[in-house]
Amino acid sequence: MARRGRLETPHGPVETPVFMPVGTQATVKAMTPAELEDMGARILLSNTYHLYLRPGADLVAAHGGLHGFMQWQGPILTDSGGFQVFSLGELRKIREEGVEFRSHIDGSKHLFTPESVMDIEGKLGADIAMAFDECIPYPATYEYAKAATARTGRWAARCKAAHCRENQSLFGIVQGGMYKDLRAQSAAELVEMDFPGYGIGGLSVGEEKPLMYEVLEHTTPLLPQEKPRYLMGVGSPDCLVEGVLRGVDMFDCVLPTRIARNGTLFTSQGKLVIRNSQYKEDMRPLDEQCSCYACRHFSRAYIRHLFIAGEILGARLATIHNLHYLVSLMAELRLAIEENRLGQTAARLLNAWGY
């Protein structure tokens, strides 16, 4: 099911499958745009909910959109804020019109509708905007999932009608929870609306990985061959491999940057927790097979010292390493697809990581 593709955007092409680093607040945490470019990142994700609240879409628009504001010259995708407002729990109320919610920053009241979100995403000016959807929690009853999935379909139609930003593609988002028939209905409905690409939402929301893979494997064949498929919010190395094996083209996740700031590193041998005392006098790089700036220069002992001493450079080097690791992993998977040996490559990687 794996595919090797190319996404064309107003800010240049993106080879797929691809991992998109997340810049929630118009910055990939601890990174400059120059560093992201150097490590081979091609497309970034940013966040409608966060940017709407702070600094506001109008200020971003005054800079010529996110590209000007955060000074990233490559493609950008904005999520719709759907996931974030649903994650607010008791701070939000879902109605047919949209979602009323309170800001996590100051408690102020706001309303997101498909139309208002299209307006905000238009101002943010990313190359790809995501439709406003309802993310179904896990577990959810069939009735709940059915109603939410149907609403996501109606909202997708309203997003499509409202979306008018030039040089911006709008992707629909397939929901349906863990119910295969609802996934099928959702996919059919969205495909009928003919979006230029499709997000697969509502996975990696607390379910076990085998269930996620099963639902994913059921969903990707329901989507058109020639359009990009984006598995939202997924980004551990094993899930990237499993997703690519099931026909996913695009991924994003805060995991690599978040765990980096906490001192957890991806390596060719699995995860490494740099604060552990076993690395106190370890002169080796984080990963002897890695060519990132951190691994080319610094010892584990030095990076551990930076974490123990609370130095920002520790978070920076760990973030550079983890993002470089995932970007390089995707390049390796793309090459394996081209050379028709993805099965072996995937098995070798998963085995080395201890899966």
* Contact residues for a second copy, defined by CB under 8 A: 25-27, 29-34, 54-55, 59, 62-63, 69-71, 280-281, 283, 293, 297-299, 301-302, 304-306, 308-309, 311-313, 315-316
DSSP 131: P
- Is residue 17 reached through a cis peptide bond, with omega within 30 degrees of 0 on the bond before it? yes
| Residue 194 a catalytic site member | no
With contact defined as beta carbons under 8 Å apart, do 43 and 20 qualify?
yes
Query: At closest approach, how far in Å is the CB of 50 from a second copy?
Result: 8
What are the helix (H) ranges across 280-311?
Answer: 293-297, 300-308
Beta carbons within 10 angstroms of residue 26's beta carbon = 21
Query: At closest approach, how far in Å is the CB of 24 from a second copy?
Result: 9
Rounded Cα distance between 144 and 165, Å, is: 33
Measured from the CB atom, the residue of 4 and 316 that comes closer to a second copy is 316
Q: Which residues pair with 111 in a beta bridge?
A: 100
Measured from the CB atom, the residue of 282 and 332 that comes closer to a second copy is 282
| Residue 287 a catalytic site member | no
Measured from the CB atom, the residue of 30 and 129 that comes closer to a second copy is 30
Query: At closest approach, how far in Å is the CB of 310 from a second copy?
Result: 9
Measured from the CB atom, the residue of 1 and 62 that comes closer to a second copy is 62
Catalytic residue among 79, 127, 249, 287: 79
Of 92, 103, 165, the residue nearest 129 (C-alpha): 165
Rounded Cα distance between 23 and 257, Å, is: 10
Give the start-end residues of each E strand in the chain. 5-9, 12-16, 18-20, 22-23, 44-47, 76-79, 92-94, 99-102, 109-112, 128-130, 169-174, 198-200, 229-231, 250-252, 264-267, 270-273
Query: At closest approach, how far in Å is the CB of 48 from a second copy?
Result: 15
The residue count for the chain: 355
Of 38, 32, 17, 14, the residue nearest 291 (C-alpha): 38
Query: At closest approach, how far in Å is the CB of 114 from a second copy?
Result: 26
Catalytic residue among 106, 252, 282, 287: 252
Rounded Cα distance between 261 and 257, Å, is: 6
Rounded Cα distance between 352 and 313, Å, is: 29
Rounded Cα distance between 98 and 262, Å, is: 36
Rounded Cα distance between 163 and 147, Å, is: 24
- In sequence order, the 6+-apart residues with CB closer than 8 A to the CB of 211 are 178
Rounded Cα distance between 15 and 33, Å, is: 19
Query: At closest approach, how far in Å is the CB of 66 from a second copy?
Result: 11
Query: At closest approach, how far in Å is the CB of 234 from a second copy?
Result: 24
Active site residues: 79, 252
